[in-house]
Structure formats: C-alpha cells, structure tokens
C-alpha cells in the first residue's frame, strides 16, 4: 500500500518520474501564441540592418558641430534627404548634413543625428546646428537590437504576444514548438448524466468532464472527451486503456464510491506503475497517479472542487513537465476579511473572492459544504493554508493565487 | 491642441467616453471558456435534486442511534441498499437502516448517514451502530449547492474552467456571452515589410501587426489584419475608414516619422472625436485616441515596445469596457536586483525578468535602448515606476505585473 504523500513530495515525484516528451512541430507565427517553444531561437541577421535615427532631424558628423551654440551655430550644407524605407547611400562631404526622419537610415559618413528642434533651416541650402552633436547621439546602430547568433528566445518559453513580436522582428515566421499534448478525460459513476440531460432520481450531471476539458484547453492542451463510464470495472479498464493508447496522459475522474475507487486503483496499477495513492491536501486526498511508460495516468477525486484543485496544483505541473517548461504561479498578497479555520496536518485549499478597497486587496473565503461546485463558481482566487497552520485570523496577510 | 494626459486620466476617459456594447450571442458550453458572460445565470433546478450521502455507510434516523457506543451499539435492521444513480424510494421503518454509498440518495425517512467505519455488520441482517448519528450528519441536502433562482454566475464574468463546471452542474449548456470583439490592426510606414520578407536597405520588418494581433487574440478578441499601409495619407484614410466600418475598434500603429503621426491624427480626428493626444507615460507618449460613435480609433506609437505597453495598459481596458467587464491585473511583490533610474514627471514602464531565490522573487530590469523589441522578448513581467519617483535603489520592494 502506497503512503499518502505531501504536496511537495508529489511535485518532486513529477520531476523525477516523468521526462519531457521532446517532440517538435512547426507552426506559422500567427498560430504560435501560447505554444511552448521547442528550440532556442537565434537571430540570423542584424536588426536593424542599418544605423537608424531615433529622431526627426539632420544626420551629420558630430565633429562638424563641436563648439556650436545658439549664438554661434555650426553652418552645414544640406546635401540630401533620407526617405523612410530607402537606403542612404549618398555621399556626405565635410560640413554637410542630410535630413533624416525618425527611423530613417543614416548615411555612412555620419555619426549622429541632431533633433530638428535644435536646428534652423536658413532656406538657402544651409542648416544651422544650435547644439553640438556627439558620436552615436540619437542613433540605433546596426544590430543594436539583434545580431546573427544572438539568442532571442529560449526553448521552453510559452510564447507571449511580445515574443511573437520578437519572432516577427527576426523573420522567424515558422516556429518550432512542442506539439499540443492530447489528454484523455474520462468520468466514471453510475450517478452521472451528461450536462445536457436532466438528472433522474439519484442522478447528478457530470461536472468534471467539461470543467477539466476547459482547464486543459485553457493551458493549450487538447482535451479528448471519452465520456461517462458506468461503475463497471471491465468497461472502465477498456476505456482507460483506449485513452492511454491514443493520448499523452489520462485523467480519470469521478467514482466517489469506495468500489469504484478501488477499481480505478487496480486499473491504473495494471496499465502503469502506481506512484501515488493519496495526497495530504484538503480537498483532494483520494488522488492516484501511475506512470505507463512516461504517460501519466491520473485518478482524480470525484468531488468537482477536489478534482479542480488537484488538477490545478498537480496535473498542470505534470503536463508542463511533459512539455519541458516551468509553470509559473506566483501569489498576490491580500488581507483576509474573516477568520478561517484550518485542518491541522493537511495543506488546505480555499476558494475566495477578491475585492479592492483603498488599493488593498481583500480576500473573502467562500464557505460551503465540501464538494459543492458553487464554491468555485465566480471565485477569483484561492488561498493555501499550510499543513502546520492551525487557522488564520481576520486581518491576516495571506498569499492568494488567481484561478 | 489636446493636452497630454496622465495614465489615470486616460483610464477615466475610457470609462466616461465609451459604453459597453451590450450585444449577446449564445455558444455551446464547450466553447464558452474565456468568453464574457452576457447575463446573470440563475439556476432553474435543485443541485443536487435529492438528499445525498457524503460517506459510504448506513442511512438511518439519528434518534434511533442516540446513546449508542462501542460498548452498547444500536442494533438496526438492514432493510435495503441504495444504488448509485438510482432513487431511494424504499420505506425505512423505525430501528432500520439502508446501505448507502458516497453520493447515493438518502431514503426520505432517514436524516443522517453513519460512516461504515463506525458500524458493524453482524451478518444476520442487522447492523450495529457504534457512534450516534445526528440529524443532517454526513448529508448534502437537496439544493444545498444550487436552488431555483440562485445566481450561479454574474454578467461580465470572464468564464474560467470552474465556471464551466458550475454551468454544467446546472445544465446550462447554451451560454449567453458577449460576441467576440473585432479589432482592425493597421501598420503604417514606408520602411515596413511583412515579417516573412527580407528587409531591403532602410527597411525593417513589421513587428506591431503580429504582436498586437497576438495580444488581442490572447484576450479572446478577433484581430483583423489590414496589413501595412505606406505613408500616404489618402491610402491610410481609406484603409482606416474601411477598418472602422467593419470592426468594433481600430488600432493604427507605426508611423514613427512626424509626417505620418500628423496624418494619423488628422485621419482619426476626421473619422471620430479626438479625445487624447499624448499620454504621460514612458515609453508610449505619442498615443492618439478618438471616438467614432462608441468605436475607439487608437493611434499607437510606432516603436514596438511603446506600442506593446500602450496596448496592454490602455487598449485592453478599453476593449474590456466595450465588453462590459472589469480587467483584473494585480501585481506581485519582488525585490529589485539592481538600481533603476526613473524619468521624473512621467510614469515609466520597464520590462524585467523574474527569478525565484529562497522563496523570494527577484526582478531584474531589462536594459536596452528605447524601442528595441528584444527588451520584451523573454520578459516575464514589467514594473511601473510612478511619476513622482526619482529612481529605485537595488533591494527595493517593487510591484511587478506579469506580461
């Protein structure tokens, strides 16, 4: 019999027992948002590929302007104009300048750009420079942003909008990413009917399948719905096996009666190596984890709230592990609006609502009997009460996690 | 000429000048994740629709067990078994009990369930109860979770996985949501080429269109790409007009040269009422906002980093306003790993990397010349330095926002 493990032990187990899948596929840039980068992206070119002005003004040699001032301007001959999006191949003799717009290319002999505000156009083909330039002033040099070989993004990064921008900048329009994980979702229980059916006597609607599918989809994972299986061990074995064969992981949920729990445990133990039977967390204790050749088979609690928390706290990091990325989930600080009892000896999770008052965040725990889904509906966040905490008083500062 | 406004003034302007669109469409539950709920959802039934046991054990009348103990068990006649997913219509006489699994229905005359651990099956059709029950013990009553008329979720909620679960629980499989906003994205600039083209002399790839499209899509908004327009006021006017006609909002970006900026300002002012010309934020000052009959027309800075921050800080709240929801963006606390200069008089935004060391989050500002997209690539978060701050020392506690 496996022992109940602490949350920290479970997270360590995930790292030691499962390996990143290491697969790669290529997607167009427009579809890369939220995907996991499979390889480091290195630039192959210079961005920009030319020296650029950061101001509207005049490109010139800085030394031709040294010592100038409002009283004694440097007089430069205007010998040309740089157009946006065109090269700046023109010759620029000594004591000459070229008009350049913001973002325009700088002709090679010039080493600075003087803002138009510090110049005067005399209308006779000469420009007065009222403030001396300095080499490099108001310029972005070729390759300042990116140069060949520079790592733009690292493998494992979940691509955000700004990363899409950076990939566009370096012309990486085909992006190597981790294929989306396929995760099979199975609900078990004689009492369950699909959400679109009216429950008969003793029946309830299946909450876990649509909730877990949504949680997975929200993390970029393809959820494959294997439907509701009645409390029949043979059927459940067949369905679980089929899911394990066609998916990267299987989430088996429901089965609140002791018989079904035992069956789920037997089935997962047959299909893989049982790693875990019970997590010291409330709610969420009756959780099973097996490893079938680097495929996680997970038995979640039947209670929707417990299933939700176990999926968030343990299944999402497990899937992140398979994708070779780190999951970031940092708390925000809030003040507890009412006291909260804790269950000494088990880490406790509590959904809460957050409200801003005078720039401070107040967390109000949502209280309900265990297992009621409305504890989660409309919840903004959840808070974690440590195993050794005996309760928190009103006004305590707590860490809350958005959910 | 409109004055430069502070970020707070801009956010207030958004609330006062734009109204929620108030449109509604219906989507299947499986597609409702991330959508904005258009109406309060009230339950029409009881969940559960029957009294349920939360344990495996025996349902009975509590008073038949009063006074019992390990030494003197209450002896009850076992008169039946409740099956999962079936009704519990059986009669239960006085001094009798019924086996009930976790989640099973409780027969009407019973008012508690005794955990199997506190019972003994004598094998002769009687069960010994070793611990007295109490009315309501180990029961979830009909409607404990939800009852007709109870508000399950409020309009304006961005639906999360747990909300999908709650909607499934109450059988709401067709969900009234706000239609996805359509936002037109236009890039301007003679120097711009699409990301899949190699820039010629003086040219750079268009970063803003793909980056802004990704930012919008990440928020559930449909981004409509109107491509790159050269610095031609007539063309730009036509394209902006077409975008405004077919979209709920228009994002015009690029145009780093003074001429294009002026043209963008004229065009937005012709198509709508100019509300804003400049925000006191660094980067991001050259931002224009016009209102064309509750359609925001936004001129973003050409620099990708500035465009990114303005889009995040002002465009996303503006779109949230049109959708009738509140945007939540709470910071996390981090310790600054190096000192940071600030630009007194303007709110300043700085991308940073976050690292966890000993349970503390360290923020390292990413330093680069203004406007380089690689400042954002791989950034974990950004920090906001207030207008009146003259700089932050190494080791200062700062609020950072994930980006």
Transcribe A179-226 into DSSP letters.
PPPEEEEEEE-TTEE-TTS---TT-EE--HHHHHHHHHHHTTPEEEEE
| Closest CA–CA distance from residue A64 to any residue of chain B (Å) | 25
Contact between chains at A199 and B49 (C-beta distance less than 8 A): yes
pLDDT(A146) > 70: yes
Q: Judged by CB atoms within 8 Å, which residues 316-335 of A form the interface with B?
A: 328, 330-333
Q: Do B166 and A200 touch (CB under 8 A)?
A: no
Residues of chain B with pLDDT under 70: 1-2, 255-258, 369-371
For residue A255, the model assigns a pLDDT of 66
- B146 chain-A contacts, CB cut-off 8 A: 374
Of A165, A332, A333, the CB nearest to B304: A165
Distance between CA A273 and CA A296 in Å, rounded? 10
Percent above pLDDT 90 for chain B: 83
Helix (H, G, I), strand (E, B) or coil at B156: coil
Q: CB contact, 8 Å: A162 with chain B?
A: yes
Closest CA in chain A for residue B308 = A162
The residue among A149, A165, A301 with the most chain B CBs within 10 A of its CB, best to mutate, is A165
Distance in Å, alpha carbon of A127 to nearest chain B alpha carbon: 19
Interface of B with A in 176-215 (CB under 8 A): 189-192, 195-215
Residues 6+ apart with CB under 8 A from A16: none
With CB atoms and an 8 Å threshold, state whether B195 touches A167: yes
Q: Which residues of A touch B83 (CB under 8 A)?
A: 190, 202
* Interface mutation target, options A149, A161, A400, chain B, most CBs of B under 10 Å: A161
Answer yes or no: do B101 and A203 touch at CB < 8 A: no
Convert the pLDDT of each residue in B225-271 to its tens digit.
999 999 899 999 999 999 999 999 999 997 656 677 788 999 999 99
pLDDT of A1 strictly over 60: no
A330: confidence class by pLDDT, cuts 50, 70, 90: confident
DSSP state of A231: S
Provide the mean pLDDT of chain A: 93
Q: Tell whether B367 lies on the interface with A, counting CB pairs under 8 A.
A: no
Model confidence over A183-242: pLDDT tens digits? 999 999 999 999 999 999 999 999 999 999 999 999 999 999 999 999 899 999 999 999
CA distance B393 to chain A (A): 22
Task: With CB atoms and an 8 Å threshold, state whether B154 touches A378.
Answer: yes
CA distance B254 to chain A (A): 10
A366 touches B: beta carbon within 8 Å: no
Backbone torsions φ then ψ of B112, nearest 5 degrees: -160, 165
CB B165 within 8 A of CB A211: yes
Q: What is the pLDDT of residue B378?
A: 83
Distances (CA, A) of A384 to A341, B330, B341: 12, 18, 37
What is the reported pLDDT for A360? Answer: 87
Per the rule left: phi > 0, alpha: psi between -120 and 50, beta: everything else, A89 is alpha
- The pLDDT value recorded for residue B255 is 66
What is the distance in angstroms between the Cα of A194 and the nearest Cα belonging to chain B?
8
CA dihedral angle for residue B148, residue B150, residue B156, residue B157, rounded to 10 degrees: -100
A377: nearest CA in chain B? B163
- Give pLDDT, residue B327: 80
In the predicted model, is pLDDT for residue A103 greater than 80?
Answer: yes
Residues 91-130 on B with a CB inside 8 Å of A are 101-105
- Interface check for A49 against chain B (CB to CB < 8 A): the answer is yes
The residues, any chain, with a CB within 8 Å of residue B238's CB and separated by 6 or more, are: none
**Subunit contact A162:B84, Cβ cutoff 8 A:** no
CA distance linking residue B108 with residue B50, whole number of Å = 9
* CB–CB contact A153 B199 (8 Å): no
pLDDT, residue B256, reads: 59
Chain A residues with CB-CB distance to B33 below 8 A: 214, 217-218
Angle at B117 (CA atoms; ends B116, B118), nearest 5 degrees: 90
The answer to whether A379 contacts B332, with C-beta atoms less than 8 Å apart, is no
Q: Judge whether A183 and A214 are in contact, CB under 8 Å.
A: no
Q: How far is B205 from chain A (nearest CA, A)?
A: 6
The pairing of beta strand A119-121 with beta strand A126-129: antiparallel
CB of B374 less than 8 A from some CB of A: yes
In this complex, which of A144, A203, A373 lies closest to B372 when CB atoms are compared?
A144
Give the residue carrying structure tokens 């790693």.
A275
* Chain B contact for A313 (CB, 8 A cutoff): no
Q: Is the pLDDT of residue A368 over 90?
A: no
**B246 part of contact set with chain A, CB < 8 Å:** no
pLDDT of residue B326: 79
Calculate the CA B36 to chain-centre distance. Answer: 9
Would you say A92 and A59 are in contact if contact means Cβ atoms under 8 Å apart? Answer: yes
Instruction: Give which of A364, A365, A384, A374 is closest to A313, Cα–Cα.
Output: A384
Average pLDDT of span A266-271:
95
Please indicate whether, in this complex, the C-beta atoms of B50 and A370 are within 8 angstroms of each other.
no
> Which residues in chain A touch residue B140, judged by CB atoms under 8 angstroms apart?
369, 371-372
Query: Are B257 and A50 an interchain contact pair (Cβ–Cβ within 8 Å)?
Result: no
pTM surpassing 0.90? yes
Binned at pLDDT 50, 70 and 90, residue A2 comes out as low
Q: Which residues of A touch B103 (CB under 8 A)?
A: 189, 191, 204, 256-257, 302
Q: Judge: B54–A146 Cβ closer than 8 Å, yes or no.
A: no
Residue B339 near residue B398 (C-beta atoms within 8 A): no
* B257 CB within 8 Å of a chain A CB: yes
Which residues of chain B are within 8 Å of residue A45 when distances are taken between CB atoms? 198
pLDDT tens readout for residues A50-93? 999 999 999 999 999 999 999 999 999 999 999 999 999 999 99
Rounded-to-integer distance, Cα B250 and Cα B226, Å: 10
Residues of B in contact with A58 (CB under 8 A): none
Mind telling me how many Å the CA of A298 is from chain B's nearest CA? 19
- Look at A165 and A2; give whichever has higher pLDDT: A165
A331 has pLDDT over 90: no
Q: What is the pLDDT of residue B371?
A: 62
Percentage of chain A modeled with pLDDT above 90: 83
pLDDT value of residue A267: 95
Assign A364 a pLDDT band (cuts: 50, 70, 90): very high
Nearest residue, CB atoms, A403 vs list B160, B173, B205: B160
Residue in A closest to B52 by C-alpha = A202
For residues A59, B344, B374, B362, the Cα torsion angle rounded to the nearest 10 degrees is 150
Mutate to test the interface with A, among B283, B377, B397 (most CBs of A within 10 A): B377
Q: Does B29 touch chain A (CB under 8 A)?
A: yes
The reply to whether residue A168 touches residue B84, judged by beta carbons under 8 angstroms, is: no
Selected residues 272-311 of chain A with any CB under 8 Å from a CB in chain B: 302, 304, 308
Nearest to B196 among A173, A198, A201 (CB): A173
Q: Place A136 in a pLDDT band, splitting at 50, 70 and 90.
A: very high
Our measurement of the distance from residue B273's CA atom to the centroid of its chain's CA atoms, rounded to an integer in Å, reads 31
């Amino acid at each position: 019999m496996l022992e109940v493990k602490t949350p920290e032990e479970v997270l360590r187990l995930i790292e030691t027992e499962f390996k990143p899948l290491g697969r790669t596929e290529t997607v167009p840039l427009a579809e890369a948002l939220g995907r996991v980068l499979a390889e480091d992206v290195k630039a192959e070119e210079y961005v920009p590929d030319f020296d650029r002005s950061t101001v509207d003004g005049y490109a010139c040699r800085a030394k031709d302007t040294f010592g100038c001032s409002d009283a004694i301007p440097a007089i430069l001959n205007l010998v040309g104009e740089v157009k946006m999006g065109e090269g700046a191949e023109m010759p620029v003799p000594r004591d000459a300048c070229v008009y350049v717009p913001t973002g325009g290319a700088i002709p090679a002999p010039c080493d600075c750009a003087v803002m138009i505000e510090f110049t005067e156009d005399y209308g006779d083909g000469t420009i007065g420079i009222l403030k001396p330039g300095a080499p490099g002033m108001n310029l972005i040099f070729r390759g300042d942003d990116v140069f060949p070989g520079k790592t733009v993004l690292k493998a494992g990064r979940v691509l955000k909008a700004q990363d899409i921008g950076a990939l566009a900048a370096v012309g990486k329009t085909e992006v190597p990413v981790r294929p989306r994980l396929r995760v099979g979702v199975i609900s078990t229980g004689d009492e369950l009917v699909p959400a679109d059916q009216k429950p008969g006597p003793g029946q309830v609607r299946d909450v876990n399948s649509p909730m877990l599918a949504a949680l997975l989809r929200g993390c970029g994972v393809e959820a494959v719905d294997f439907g509701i299986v009645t409390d029949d061990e043979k059927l459940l074995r067949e369905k679980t096996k089929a899911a394990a064969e066609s998916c990267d992981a299987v989430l088996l949920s429901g089965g609140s009666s002791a018989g079904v729990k035992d069956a789920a445990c037997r089935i997962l133990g047959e299909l893989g190596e049982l790693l875990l039977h019970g997590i010291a967390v409330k709610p969420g204790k009756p959780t099973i984890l097996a490893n079938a050749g680097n495929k996680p088979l997970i038995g979640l609690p039947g209670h929707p709230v417990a299933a939700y928390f176990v999926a968030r706290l343990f299944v999402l990091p497990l899937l992140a592990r398979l994708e070779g990325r780190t999951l970031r989930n940092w708390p925000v600080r809030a003040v507890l609006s009412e006291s909260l009892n804790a269950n000494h000896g088990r880490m406790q999770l509590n959904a809460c609502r957050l409200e801003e008052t005078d720039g401070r965040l107040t967390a109000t725990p949502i209280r309900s009997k265990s297992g009621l889904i409305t504890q989660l509906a409309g919840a903004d966040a959840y808070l974690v009460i440590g195993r050794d905490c005996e309760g928190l008083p009103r006004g305590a500062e707590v860490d809350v996690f958005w959910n």
